[in-house]
Amino acid sequence: MPRTARPSPRPRPGARPAVALTAGLAALLLAGCTAGSGTDGGGKGFAGALPGRDRPAATPTPTPTPTPTGPYVALGDSYTAGLKIAPQTGEPRGCSRSSVNYPSLVAKELGLGPGQFRDVSCSGAVTGDLTGPQRTDGGVNPAQLDALTSATRLVTLGIGGNDAGFADVLTECAKENLVDAVKGLIGDGRSDSPCRDHYVSGGTDRIRGKVDAAGDRLGQALQEIRRRSPQARVYVVGYPALLPADPAGCAPVLGRGLAGADLGFLTEEEQQLNGMLRKRAEAAGAVFVDAAAPSAGHDMCAGEAARWIEPPFPAPGLAPVHPNAKGQQAMAAAVLKAVRG
Per the CB < 8 A criterion, the answer to whether 102 and 324 are in contact is: no
Partner residues linked to 237 by β-bridges: 289
What is the 8-class DSSP label of residue 59? P
322 counts as catalytic:
yes
Catalytic option among 78, 123, 191, 295: 78
d(CA 160, CA 331): 16
37 counts as catalytic:
no
Catalytic option among 96, 98, 198, 322: 322
Element (H, E) at 156: strand 154-158
Buried residues in 238-266 as b, exposed as e (16+ CB within 10 A): bbbbbbbeebebbeebbeeebbeebbbbb
Nearest 10 degrees: Cα torsion 113, 239, 338, 234: -70
d(CA 243, CA 217): 27
Going by C-alpha positions, the residue among 11, 139, 10, 163 that lies closest to residue 76 is 163
Per the CB < 8 A criterion, the answer to whether 77 and 124 are in contact is: yes
Give the residue numbers annotated as catalytic, written as ranges: 78, 322
